[in-house]
Copies of this chain bind each other. A is one copy, B any other.
Amino acid sequence: MNIQEPGGAGATRRVRLADVAAAAGVSTSAASFVLNGRTDQRIPEETKERVRRAAEELGYRPNATARTLRTGTSGAYAFVSDFISSTSVANAMVRGALRELDAHGALMFAVETQGNADMERRLIEQLVDRHIDGVIYASMFTRHVAIPELPAGVRLVLLNCLPPAGVADRGVTAVVPDELGAGRAAAQVLLTAGHRDRIAFLGSFPDGMSGGQEWGGLHPLALDLRVQGITARLAESGLALAESIPVTGWDIADGQAAAETLVGAALPSAIICANDRLALGVMRALRRYGVRVPEDLSLVSFDGSQLADITDPPLASLALPLEGMGRHAALRVLEDAPSPTVELLPMPLGRTGTIAPPPLP
């Protein structure tokens, strides 16, 4: 609430601690003490009550800026991401982090570096100038990142990214999806449906081509781990991938083109696609050629994007638990001393509309 400036013609001023103290007839120190609920100094309940009532009646709200200047902590955190992506990847992680931070009374700065190191440095400086308590450093795809430099006391949690390869992880907290486990789960769901030696993988790159694996000079980790998980699970059942279908990109059209090379020859009984966009392209190609999904061919993919919900039938996809990742990162960064560990979050399987037993030969 506001206070009439004595002598001021209608000018008002925000209520401050001194006003509360004056109204309660105590010193500002005592008022501060009471309102912060400290107990290491004794103040009689009657006095405390007077202070609390005065604060209530005046509509007192502490000035967070002054408190921050004094204490060095702000209760504000920064979500620093490379891209507030046009896909909704960032969106879901931001939402998770935001909700968890809010649940703890903290505020969140959102910041986008656009993958630019200078911009990142500049933004982090701006944030540090404002005494943020911690940084959630997020990448739009899983990869190794350079650890941003932060002053002591500003906590850091990596979200959907890991410390530089080869560097010991000591001291860094990270939250990433369990891509290896997802690869295993993709194989598992097909094995359970009865598929055996006619399972194909679509989404690797032709020999000599690294354009898709290297993205802007960066190396996404998901693809390799997904494939590792798949082959590991198949190997446990004495099986192997029947075929690995290369693609020349990551998008719908690439999946469609790759799938069209298959038609005519003997089809696999199931295809595991590297991501949802490829899978959508595959579905489109198969439909054109009269191959029914899942009756003639089963399909599993990764990401759990919104695409998976709008295909017909709904695509079986191992979902990146984006909101959960955001939440977990927030929980870590709120900790006094974040445990320096890599937290793997499971990737659940959503709908299973594209999975059926293999067709009879």
Pick out which of these stretches binds chain B: A60-68, A135-143, A237-245. A60-68
On whether the beta carbons of A310 and B307 are closer than 8 Å, the reply is: yes
Q: A65-B68, A68-B65, A280-B310 are in contact. Are A109 and B109 (CB under 8 A)?
A: yes
Q: For the complex formed by this chain, how many copies does it contain in all? A: 2
Q: How far, in angstroms, from A111 to B99 measured CA to CA in the complex?
A: 9
**Which chain B residue shows the least CB distance to A68?**
B65
Output the least CB separation between A336 and chain B (Å): 20
- Chain B proximity mask over A80-97: 1 for CB below 8 Å, otherwise 0: 000011111011101100
A131 at the interface (CB under 8 A from B): yes
On whether the beta carbons of A64 and B130 are closer than 8 Å, the reply is: yes
A76 at the interface (CB under 8 A from B): yes
- Chain B proximity mask over A104-141: 1 for CB below 8 Å, otherwise 0: 01011111100000000001011111110000000000
A284 at the interface (CB under 8 A from B): yes
On whether the beta carbons of B107 and A108 are closer than 8 Å, the reply is: no
A102 at the interface (CB under 8 A from B): yes
A102 / chain B contacts, CB cutoff of 8 Å: 111-112, 123
Q: How far, in angstroms, from A284 to B284 measured CA to CA in the complex?
A: 13
On whether the beta carbons of B69 and A95 are closer than 8 Å, the reply is: no
**Which chain B residue shows the least CB distance to A277?**
B310
**Which chain B residue shows the least CB distance to A88?**
B88
A98 / chain B contacts, CB cutoff of 8 Å: 84, 110-112
On whether the beta carbons of A129 and B84 are closer than 8 Å, the reply is: no
A312 at the interface (CB under 8 A from B): yes
- Which A residues from 303 to 355 make CB contacts under 8 A with B? 306-307, 310, 312
A252 at the interface (CB under 8 A from B): yes
On whether the beta carbons of B112 and A99 are closer than 8 Å, the reply is: yes
A269 at the interface (CB under 8 A from B): no
A151 / chain B contacts, CB cutoff of 8 Å: 2, 14
On whether the beta carbons of B130 and A65 are closer than 8 Å, the reply is: yes
On whether the beta carbons of A61 and B95 are closer than 8 Å, the reply is: no
On whether the beta carbons of A125 and B312 are closer than 8 Å, the reply is: no
On whether the beta carbons of A129 and B95 are closer than 8 Å, the reply is: no
A62 / chain B contacts, CB cutoff of 8 Å: 129
A63 / chain B contacts, CB cutoff of 8 Å: 69, 129
Closest 7 CB pairs of A and B: A64-B129, A110-B110, A91-B91, A88-B88, A84-B95, A64-B130, A65-B69
